[in-house]
Amino acid sequence: MGRRLHVLIAGGGLGGLCLAQGLRRFGHSCVVFERDSDLDRKVGYRLHMNADGGEALRACLPPDLFELYLETSRKTPPRQHAVVIDDQLNELSSMPHIGPPNQGPRPHTAVDRRTLRQILLGRLGDAVHLGAAVVGYEEIGDRVRVLLVDGSTEEGDLLVGADGIRSAVRAQRLPETVIIDAAIQGLGLYARSSLPADLQAEIPPVLMDGFVIATDRRDGLLAMGAYNPRRPVTEARAAIAPDIPIDPVDDYMMVGGNPAEGTAIPPFAEWTDATATELRDSMLDAHSGWHPALRGVVERIDPATMFSISFGRLDPTSAWVPSRVTLLGDAIHAMLPTLGQGANMALRDAATLARALAETNDPVAAIAAYEAAMRDYVYPLMEAAADPSSFGGGGLARPAAD
Ligand SMILES: Cc1cc2nc3c(=O)[nH]c(=O)nc-3n(C[C@H](O)[C@H](O)[C@H](O)COP(=O)(O)OP(=O)(O)OC[C@H]3O[C@@H](n4cnc5c(N)ncnc54)[C@H](O)[C@@H]3O)c2cc1C
């Protein structure tokens, strides 16, 4: 292990918190500055996990918190990464698993995003500062000083921008990088639909497979993913890590889709109490002739969980000169979520950087090694995720016109 470092981390999302855990495990100290004052921002529910992300968690988390992650992961691995079905449940195509082998008695499956974030926050205590947006930084010799929104500053040996697609650290470090608006056809609304145990026993098995996209091959689309953990979240926490605050989670089906044609989705900030219910009813209108099991998923949407989202992505950035300020996760490689890779890669970045910093006394050389590795494993995935034909394995193509 090299010299003990004090690392400043901008952003307490999945990548930033995983890095904080990894740095502690490898003997460094850190402080995380998170813009939000709580975990309530709606950014999504179920996360597809693969061996890249899962093994990064194994490397960074204390063993009992890794066990808690595994036990609160989904029970069954999906057959494929994604399955495309038509509106009557007939399978059209599938997209194979991407990434390293993911087998064994408890392969990496899918998690609840909030539960994973709470596990990653576990025992970080006052190293995490909530409501502390980073607005910039200064490099002063071999130190970095981070500037916070309230005018205060803090110094460390390194700064890691893990502050998401609109990263304030990237805006200063790589100001030429452009965020590309990239809507996904048919996916404007996200919500959770209830999934009680008796329903799980009778719902058509294809809907419980993993990430499922149903299409009428015109404008109608529903994206679904079941979350039913190996062990109920409350029970797993009580048995494995009772000192960690974790909210209870009922089993659910994550749902993405659109309202009926002609119904506009208002900006999320303008939603009233009635908006989500109206949009859910409009989603039902959009799927009027669909199989009852698919309509049932929409009917059971909890309006309180609905939100709208506008997607963006980055293109790979040409190599830059390494310094004491680096970037990880969406801050440097935000991609569309269609391949289920963004969070897995943010976690992998965290483990790669934590390991690199543990292996040398030269932090800038460690950052250079991390950045070179990250470009090699992430850039091909960014390019694949930007290719619309890779979404859903091709089964989304509309029938040829007569
Ligand atoms: C609907 C949806 C579904 C997805 N599904 C999957 C999936 O199944 N599998 C998968 O691997 N990926 C998935 N992704 C992608 C995944 O969510 C992201 O790639 C992942 O969250 C990136 O982690 P991150 O830590 O880099 O960034 P984020 O999770 O965005 O975290 C960044 C953090 O920084 C904070 N922040 C922002 N600005 C500042 C600032 N100036 N100062 C301090 N803090 C700041 C934010 O509040 C946030 O907490 C999905 C994304 C979406 C939108």
Banded model confidence at residue 398, pLDDT cuts 50, 70, 90? low
Contact call for residues 379 and 50 (beta carbons, < 8 A): no
Q: What is the mean pLDDT of residues 185-198?
A: 92
Say yes or no: 25 and 156 in one domain. yes
Closest to 20 measured CA to CA, from 35, 3, 8: 8
Could you tell me which of 297, 355, 358 has the C-alpha nearest to residue 56? 355
Average pLDDT over residues 170-189: 90
Are the C-beta atoms of 345 and 16 separated by less than 8 Å? no
Tell me what the mean pLDDT of segment 165-189 comes to.
Answer: 92
**112 lies in some domain:** no
Asked whether residue 99 is assigned to any structural domain, the reply reads: no
Provide the percentage of residues in the chain whose pLDDT is more than 70.
Answer: 96
The answer on 301 and 200 residing in a single domain is: yes
Residue 387: its pLDDT value, please? 82
The atom of ligand 1 lying closest to the CA of 135 is 41
Last residue of a domain, one of 280, 310, 340: 310
Ligand 1: lining residues by beta carbon, under 6 Å:
10-16, 33-36, 43-44, 47-48, 133-134, 162-164, 168, 190, 309, 329-331, 337, 340-344, 346
258-278 average pLDDT score: 93
Are residues 316 and 201 both part of a single domain?
Answer: no
Compute the distance from residue 330 Cα to the ligand 1 centre, in Å: 6
Average of pLDDT values for 222-229? 96
Which amino acid is residue 398, in one-letter code?
R
145: pLDDT strictly greater than 90: yes
Backbone torsions φ then ψ of 398, nearest 5 degrees: -75, 155
Whether residue 73 lies inside any domain: the answer is: no
Residue 162 sits in the same domain as residue 264: no
The residue whose CB lies within 8 Å of the most ligand 1 atoms, and thus the one to mutate among 8, 34, 81, 254, is: 34
* 124 Rama sector, left if φ>0, alpha if ψ -120 to 50, beta otherwise: alpha
Q: Would you say residue 401 has pLDDT above 60?
A: no
Residues 6+ apart with CB under 8 A from 71: 229, 230, 231, 236, 240
Mean pLDDT score of the chain, rounded to an integer?
94
Is residue 122 pLDDT above 60, yes or no? yes
Domain shared by 291 and 353, yes or no: no
CATH number at residue 366: 3.50.50.60
Sort 206 into a burial class: Cβ within 10 Å, 0-12 / 13-18 / 19+: middle
| Phi, psi values for residue 121, rounded to 5° | -75, -15
Q: Is 355 helix (H, G, I), strand (E, B) or coil?
A: helix
Token pair, residue 149, equals: 């929104």
- Asked whether residue 355 falls in the same domain as residue 254, the answer is no
Overall domain count for the chain: 2
pLDDT single digits (tens) 330-370: 999 999 888 899 999 999 999 999 999 999 889 999 999 99
Q: Are residues 296 and 233 in the same domain?
A: yes
Residue 243 belongs to some domain of the structure = yes
Whether residue 95 is contained in a domain is answered as no
Residue 31 sits in the same domain as residue 139? yes
Strands (E), 66-157: 82-86, 91-95, 110-112, 128-129, 134-140, 143-148, 153-156
Read off the DSSP letter of residue 49: -
| pTM recorded for the entire structure | 0.97
Mean pLDDT of 57-81: 95
Please give the residue range of the domain that contains residue 30: 6-37+130-181+312-391
Which DSSP string do the residues of 175-213 spell out, in sequence order? TT--PEE---TT--EEEEEE--HHHHHHS-GGGGSSEEE
Is 217 found in the same domain as 149? no
Q: Which residue's CA is the nearest one to ligand 1's atom 48?
A: 13
What is the rounded radius of gyration, in angstroms, for the C-alpha atoms of the chain? 21
pLDDT digits (tens, 9 = 90+) for 291-338: 999 999 999 999 999 999 888 999 999 999 999 999 999 999 999 888
Identify whether residues 245 and 367 lie together within a single domain.
Answer: no
Residue 97 has pLDDT above 90, yes or no: no
Pair (247, 356) in one structural domain: no
Residue after which a domain boundary falls, among 271, 289, 310:
310
Q: How is 57-85 classified by DSSP, letter by letter?
A: HHHHS-HHHHHHHHHTSBSS--SSSEEEE
